[in-house]
């Protein structure tokens, strides 16, 4: 009897540790990282209650199955002739964000505004999910300020992906 009971417990526990193949396949689709070929990117202005100019990156999944983003967007900015050498400071708690088909994830980047004048302004930027991977282009971006106030100079603050626009905004406020 003890052996039969043990076998029954083993079978019950074993069935929970090995989910059906259908569930594993669905979990694998959800766990796939988003690919640039399947997303669209828009950069939108945000409310700026402090001395920072904030922009919102909206990443929309155009694929047919969910994907996951985690970490920080990879940003680069260019003026008319070349890349602008910004310093990037990443801040905020990173978490995985599942993005369903035709759904979006959001991240914020910001930079102190230039109160004493602009040295170079970004006319375009690129957005990527990982370094060295394909990117999407967008128009505009921050500026490098004229020398004078160190905090304004060339640091772009980048915050991690969030599942909603509100959370992305609140994360950027909490870390500033």
Q: What is the pLDDT of residue 65?
A: 92
The token pair that represents 107 in the structure block: 């991240």
Within-domain flag for 96: yes
Q: What is the pLDDT of residue 76?
A: 92
Within-domain flag for 15: no
Residue with tokens 């929309």: 60
Q: What are the tens digits of pLDDT across the range 77-95?
A: 999 999 998 989 998 899 9
* Nearest-angstrom CA–CA distance, 162 and 127: 16
Q: What is the pLDDT of residue 1?
A: 42
Q: Which domain holds residue 85?
A: 32-175
- State the chain's mean pLDDT as an integer: 79
Within-domain flag for 3: no
Within-domain flag for 41: yes
**Percent of the chain beyond pLDDT 90?**
38
Backbone CA torsion sign across 96, 60, 35, 19: positive
Whether the per-residue pLDDT at 25 is higher than 60: the answer is: no
Whether the per-residue pLDDT at 119 is higher than 90: the answer is: no
**Full-model pTM:** 0.75
């Amino acid at each position: 009897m003890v052996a039969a009971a043990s076998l029954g417990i083993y079978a019950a526990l074993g069935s929970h540790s090995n989910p059906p193949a259908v569930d594993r396949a669905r979990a694998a689709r959800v766990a796939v990282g988003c690919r640039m070929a399947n997303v669209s990117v828009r950069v939108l202005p945000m409310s700026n209650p402090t001395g920072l100019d904030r922009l919102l990156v909206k990443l929309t999944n155009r694929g047919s199955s969910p994907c996951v983003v985690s970490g920080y967007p990879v940003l680069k900015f260019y003026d008319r002739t070349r890349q602008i050498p910004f310093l990037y400071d990443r801040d905020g708690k990173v978490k995985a964000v599942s993005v369903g088909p035709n759904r979006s994830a959001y991240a914020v980047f910001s930079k102190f505004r230039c109160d004493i004048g602009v040295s170079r302004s970004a006319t375009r930027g690129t957005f990527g999910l990982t370094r060295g991977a394909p990117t999407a282009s967008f128009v505009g971006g921050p500026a490098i300020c004229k020398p004078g106030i160190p905090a304004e100079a060339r640091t772009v603050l980048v915050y991690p992906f969030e599942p909603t626009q509100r959370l992305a905004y609140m994360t950027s406020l909490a870390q500033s």
